[in-house]
A and B are shown apart, each in its own frame.
Chain A
Amino acid sequence: MKIAVYGPGCANCQNLEKNTKQAVKEIGLGAEITQIKEIDQILEAGIIATPGLAIDGEIKSMGRVPSVEEIKKWIKAKM
């Protein structure tokens, strides 16, 4: 499973990354988490508000920081 965290690096973006790592850890899944910081690439992925999260190419959230529980829910739905 490929999880992508989009954001140039402000506090919200870092929180999203933190929550994502936590969610993956709690599920015990070997998912690949990439952080994308370049605006060009962020927009290419269709993200218009940061931070953004996509799982296996599907955008799950934009412009907010979902909680660990929510991220776990999305990951499980994709498993």
Chain B
Amino acid sequence: MVPDILQEAVNYLTYVLMGLNPASPLGSAVNFFIYDTIKILILLTVIIFAIAFFRSYISPLKVRKALGKRNEYLGNVVAALIGIITPFCSCSAVPLFIGFVESGVPLGVTFSFLIASPMINEVAIILLGGMVGWQITAVYIISGLFIAIIAGIIIGKLKLEGEVESYVYEMIEKIKAAEASGMTLEEDKQTLKERALSSRDYTIDLLKRITPYVIIAIGIGAIIHGYVPTDFLVTYVGANNPLAVPIAVLIGVPLYSNAAGIIPLVAVLIDKGIPVGTALAFMMAVTALSLPEMIILRKVLKPKLLAIFIAILAVSITAIGYLFNAIT
């Protein structure tokens, strides 16, 4: 298995070539740093490329069409699933939201998409898998989907269409006018080579942007891994502290997710004794409830709807946190 060979090689490098003591904090930290940096960068490169490639087959118009036709519950599920694989440049939040409303996508379904998209971000998932294992990652994905679907259904049921900013409807008129005058995108006809080139460019660009953060985060993680005694955190943030989950969620909200950067930290914290549920809640709070995104969404959502959105998310994330703390 590749990771084992890598671990052997890194062990050789750090303990034999560099002469560090495996039992020492320094040896442990350096080993962790080198191993995880290499593993994460390889994983990131391969999977970002693969996802970018498959994503090139999905266009925003196809997504709108697919979601517009669905009825409520199925629509929420589909929206959440599609949210995972679509790229969600937060600058796209407003146009996408407006576009969805314009094509008749039910409000609740749109929200399922809006929740799933940033929370279940492929870079974050890869890193999480590579660092804490695929079981926890699967739990994260399934919980995230569950929250996206249920929250979307609840919002749909609350009939909050009136709480969408009138700005949205003004913009819809503009879109309709544009489409009426023939300004629409004809279906994508990309060749395989074009898709590969675009994916390659995207991968290189994304790696360039996130690698510094990832390395710093792994560095911090390495230090904690090597120097902080195991279970140190259990005393403070462990199962004994019932407020740990809400606190984790509150800390997560104002943090702007460079999802990539947070994860190595989360992984090490879990390693040092933070209960899995608390860690997951923290991750979800960081990615799904980011302050910058809320500010952007304020343009299309009236305060009441925005507040309800945030509240439902915060509560469900906290609930998931408690649930997993209880069962693990």
Contacts and interface: CB of A to CB of B under 8 A. Distances in A.
Contact of A46 (B64, B89, B92, B184): B184
A46 B194 contact: no
- Which bucket holds chain A's interface residue count? 35 or more
B197 interface: yes
B60 A49 contact: yes
A10 B194 CA distance: 23
B90 interface: yes
A62 B99 CA distance: 12
A43 B202 contact: no
Given A39-B95, A50-B92, A63 B87 contact: yes
Interface in B171-194: 171, 174-175, 177-179, 183-185, 188, 190, 194
Interface string B16-40: 0000000000000000000000000
Contact of B171 (A39, A57, A61): A39
B173 to A, nearest CB: 9
- 6 nearest CB pairs, A to B: A48-B99, A46-B178, A49-B60, A46-B183, A10-B91, A63-B60
Contact of B96 (A19, A45, A48, A60): A48
Contacts of B60: 48-49, 62-63
B41 to A, nearest CB: 19
A42 B183 contact: no
A4 B201 CA distance: 21
Contacts of B197: 67, 69-70
B98 interface: yes
B185 A9 contact: no
B91 A57 contact: no
Contacts of A40: 171, 174
B310 interface: no
A65 B198 contact: yes
A70 B198 CA distance: 9
Interface in A4-36: 7-13, 15, 19
B303 to A, nearest CB: 19
Nearest to A61: B185
A59 interface: yes
Contact of A49 (B56, B96, B190, B209): B96
Interface in B139-185: 171, 174-175, 177-179, 183-185
A76 interface: no
Contacts of A43: 95, 98, 171, 174-175, 178
A70 B183 contact: no
A19 B87 CA distance: 19
8 contacts: A9-B91, A40-B171, A43-B175, A44-B175, A48-B175, A54-B183, A70-B194, A70-B197
A3 interface: no
B223 to A, nearest CB: 29
A35 to B, nearest CB: 13
B92 A49 contact: yes
B203 to A, nearest CB: 12
A59 to B, nearest CB: 5
Contact of B184 (A7, A59, A66): A59
B212 to A, nearest CB: 14
